Amino acid sequence: RLALHGRRADALAGLAARLTTADGTAPAVLCADCASADGAQALFTAAEAALGGAPEVLVIAIGSARDDALPMLGDADAAAVIADNLAPVVHLCEAMRAARARAGGGGRIVIVSSITGLVGQPMRTLYGAAKGAVIAYAKSLARETAASGLTVNCLAPQVLDGGLASLMRAHVRQTLLGATPAARACTPQDLVDAARFLAAPGAGYVTGTVVNVTGGLVTW
């Protein structure tokens, strides 16, 4: 059973129309704003009703960027990047932790962060700081929840086709791809395959890890 969550009902409905779950049913569509803890908790209340119990796997793919030299960015930009990238992740993970505790433990959290959270990249200082904070939070949460069986891992992709890459300035994108040994951007399927591994029952001993999906740009 699958539930899709996001802020844009039209986009969610379009995606749901293209998907079916293993038993042939359409996924539930849950429109929510997780910028607040109350919003995230409301989402989980709806999810438990739609799925018939606490979610077993939570995949978080959320964020925004402000690409420019740091002197060109102000306090409002810094606040927006933290609010859009870090706060929803914290609220969703805490709601998931509570839901899994009520269900007796276990579960998987997979967070899509960014390679920018691990290595410095030009023109992406604020975005990198926010994604680095997401990774640090996930690592600490993983240590707190390991004994309960709830794993927490991050994916760190290179520039993602169809995602934030479409919003990047051309010269920024060119610089990043030029340094990538695989000489291409990350695709959504690359991320899906990595997320499926981390969400699988066999990955129960993998937690607090950042999986680099970077085409060789980062090898540690």
SS3 147: helix
Give residue for tokens 């001993």: 205
The active-site residue out of 6, 62, 127, 186 is 127
Burial of 189 (0-12, 13-18, 19+ CB in 10 A): exposed
| Exposed e or buried b per residue across 76-92, where buried means at least 16 C-beta atoms within 10 angstroms of its C-beta | ebbebbeebbbbbbbbb
Task: Let me know if 137 is a catalytic residue.
Answer: no
What residues form DSSP beta bridges with 6?
31
Q: Report whether 85 contacts 66 (CB < 8 A).
A: no
Distance CA 100, CA 86 (A): 21
Letter string b/e over residues 138-167, b meaning 16 or more CB atoms within 10 A of that residue's CB: bbebbeebeeeebbbbbbbbbbbeebbbee
List residues with catalytic annotation: 127
